Structure 1
Amino acid sequence: MTLDDLRVFIAVCQAGSLSAVARSLSCSQSAVSQHVRRLEREIGLTLVERQPRGVAPTDAGAILYQAALGGLASLDAALRHLRELRDGDGGTVKVTTGGVTVRHFMPDAITAFRGRHPDAILDFRSAHSTGRCLELLHGGQADLAWITLGRPFPGVQQRPVIDLPWVLVVNAGDPLAARRVVEPEDLRSIRHIAHPPNSASRRRLEEEFVRLGCTPSQTVGVADWDTAVLLAELGVGHAVLPGLPRLALSPDGPVRAVPIPALSPITVGWAARQWNALSPLAAEFADLVAADQARFAADLAETPTGEDTSSR
């Protein structure tokens, strides 16, 4: 069993096709098959089986795939970190997260990191959900994932950074805009702008609605939180969002953010395959973001309920 055998096997499981892997590696299909057969001979079990279209891992193959994926991802990361140590300050930190969270959670940390390490590269990979971020992380395509924390994910360690209270974002002319807080009974009648499908925030919010017995009707779905704010401004509906650090809603602006204390806060933070195996650059960037959010949380704790914090 060689590393090349495992890499080819992983590629076959992901592509579901021997010929596709052969094309990507610029080799013959028989060469790809030899890698898989060598693993099967050594293990003594069939790892992939033919299907009407392509191939798929057997139960034994699925076990090996998950183990090999995490192991090779960690090995590749370690080798890259060793090259960074050998070559100096330069290096790459690969981060995966949702499309708008970089703007809301990381701009100050990015500026500080770039000032300290001008030769380092921050490589951001957008993903549509926490689940997809964790898949990219586990597969070695990212060093860090900024996610909504919740259910455990095999081979990944999660670290909470900040709890965000929920707010109702509404057009300034809406009757609810004048409230200091929004109560559960108010939520029953709102025109709810739903979060992206399959997102952790949507699942958490729907669970909270059920808990409070106040599930509102849905008017439209959106791809990200910023779009939800825009639709609320246009009067299309009401957006129930986490109280983001850079929501940027001024007291005299076209929209208001009204706290919803009955909804349990949502926790966001970092995930990594192994914290103690992160490169020094990745660990430093994670710490910079966490420090920024700690300052925001301290400001939020000192702000009376319902007071705007966008200028802080």
Structure 2
Amino acid sequence: MKLTQIRDLIATAETGSLRAAARHLGVTQPAITRSIRELEQELGTPLFERHQFGMQPTATGRIMLERARAVQEELRRAREEIAQLQGEMTGDVRVAMSTIATFALMPQAVRAFRATHPRAVLKFVESLYQPIEAQLLSGQIDFFVGPFSDQGRASRVTSETLFTNRRVVIARKGHRLVGATSIAQLTEAEWVKQALPDRQSEGDFERPFIQAGLPMPNVIMHTTSATATLLAVANGDLLTSVPRQMLDAPVSRDLFAVLPIREDLFAAPICLVRRTDLSLTPLAEFMFDMFRRAGLQYGRKTGGLGAG
């Protein structure tokens, strides 16, 4: 198996056709066709289903594609690590962050990183853990910062807690319920709920009502966006519950009131997560440490329980 075949396999899958893959790579279409055919002959199985309007990976093709991407990322990482060890501190650092980490930690971590490594390129993806888990395991993402629970997780990742977390109920300023001190006073309210694509977060929104033996909140709007959720609350009579870091931005403090609810509203701890079997490049390791420092400082400042 040749590295050019791995390159061609990935390009064909990502562009959807041999012609587009050839154009993307700057080679001829017959060369791509021959490369894919030879790889299929070597493996003894078709890797693509050929249709009139494109090519789709077969079941075995998807398995091979996942491994090919991992190989490609390992080679990229190796080249960058060798260059960095030789003193050339350039290359990419790829980080996935939750919205909480973006608001609370990213600015401080980036300032510290850029002060030392101005030539490096930072690539951030805003996401929870579950949607990016495969990319973390394949090496496409260096590490994750955000809410994480290791219950039921494979041992291929390791995590360290930066600080504990909690949710707050918010409303627009001037809302009739801004003085409520218990969720029992919110049973008649209408809510907007951000639907989070992560199993860890399922039930966080409703848990306080269940624990108090109250009816489920009257959710009249569902979103998949933190921005849409905040806009809905700011421009109407809806309530929502969000991690408290969502209010760190000045615009949030100006628009919203935090209800002084006495019940504890659970949120998963904020963690750093990385693969156990893969060392980070020196640049990625430095950025990992900058997020660690930012997280521990934030935890001390807000009363969260930091690690170490």
TM-score range, shorter chain: 0.7 to 0.9
Cα deviation digits, residues 90-143 of structure 1 (max 9, x gap)? 44322233567423322122222223x143435233445544444554565432
Cα deviation digits, residues 277-310 of structure 1 (max 9, x gap)? 101221222222222222332343389xxxxxxx
CA distance in structure 1 between the partners assigned to 2:34 and 2:289 by the alignment: 45
Which residue number corresponds to residue 294 of structure 2?
A: 292
Residue 75 of structure 1 aligns to which amino acid in structure 2? L
Q: How does 1:101-180 map to 2 (within 5 A)?
A: 101-115=101-115, 117-127=116-126, 130-138=129-137, 140-150=139-149, 157-159=157-159, 160-180=161-181
CA distance in structure 2 between the partners assigned to 1:154 and 1:17 by the alignment: 35
The answer on 1:9 being equivalent to 2:9 is yes
Residue 282 of structure 1 aligns to which amino acid in structure 2? A
Does the CA contact (< 8 Å) of 2:149 and 2:268 recur in 1? no
Cα deviation digits, residues 171-201 of structure 1 (max 9, x gap)? 3433442244x43x44543322221563668
Residue 282 of structure 2 aligns to which amino acid in structure 1? P
Residue 147 of structure 2 aligns to which amino acid in structure 1? T
Which residue number corresponds to residue 265 of structure 1?
A: 267
Does the CA contact (< 8 Å) of 2:73 and 2:139 recur in 1? yes
Length, aligned pairs only:
300
Cα deviation digits, residues 3-25 of structure 1 (max 9, x gap)? 11112112223333222212211
Cα deviation digits, residues 14-37 of structure 1 (max 9, x gap)? 333222212211223322122222
Residue 296 of structure 2 aligns to which amino acid in structure 1? A
CA distance in structure 2 between the partners assigned to 1:99 and 1:18 by the alignment: 38
Q: SS where residue 108 of structure 1 aligns?
A: helix
Residue 242 of structure 2 aligns to which amino acid in structure 1? L
| TM-score between the two structures when normalised by the length of structure 2 | 0.78
CA distance in structure 1 between the partners assigned to 2:226 and 2:219 by the alignment: 15
CA distance in structure 2 between the partners assigned to 1:59 and 1:82 by the alignment: 35
Could you say if the C-alpha distance between residues 8 and 208 of structure 1 is closer, same or farther in structure 2, counting changes exceeding 3 Å?
Answer: farther
Could you say if the C-alpha distance between residues 258 and 294 of structure 1 is closer, same or farther in structure 2, counting changes exceeding 3 Å?
Answer: farther
Which residue number corresponds to residue 82 of structure 2?
A: 82
Residue 240 of structure 1 aligns to which amino acid in structure 2? S
CA distance in structure 2 between the partners assigned to 1:166 and 1:299 by the alignment: 17
CA distance in structure 2 between the partners assigned to 1:32 and 1:260 by the alignment: 64
CA distance in structure 2 between the partners assigned to 1:276 and 1:122 by the alignment: 21
Q: How does 1:1-312 map to 2 (within 5 A)?
A: 1-51=1-51, 53-98=53-98, 101-115=101-115, 117-127=116-126, 130-138=129-137, 140-150=139-149, 157-159=157-159, 160-180=161-181, 182-183=182-183, 185-186=184-185, 188-195=187-194, 198=197, 203-205=202-204, 208=207, 212=211, 214-222=215-223, 224-225=225-226, 228-244=229-245, 247=248, 255-259=257-261, 261-274=263-276, 276-301=278-303
CA distance in structure 2 between the partners assigned to 1:48 and 1:260 by the alignment: 57
Tell me the CA shift for residue 255 of structure 1: 1.6
Ranges in structure 2 where 5+ consecutive residues have no aligned partner? none
Tell me the CA shift for residue 240 of structure 1: 0.7
Q: SS where residue 205 of structure 1 aligns?
A: coil
Identity %: 21
Does the CA contact (< 8 Å) of 1:191 and 1:218 recur in 2? yes
CA distance in structure 1 between the partners assigned to 2:62 and 2:102 by the alignment: 34
Does the CA contact (< 8 Å) of 1:144 and 1:270 recur in 2? yes
Higher RCO, Cα 8 Å, sep 6+ = 2
Ranges in structure 1 where 5+ consecutive residues have no aligned partner? 304-312
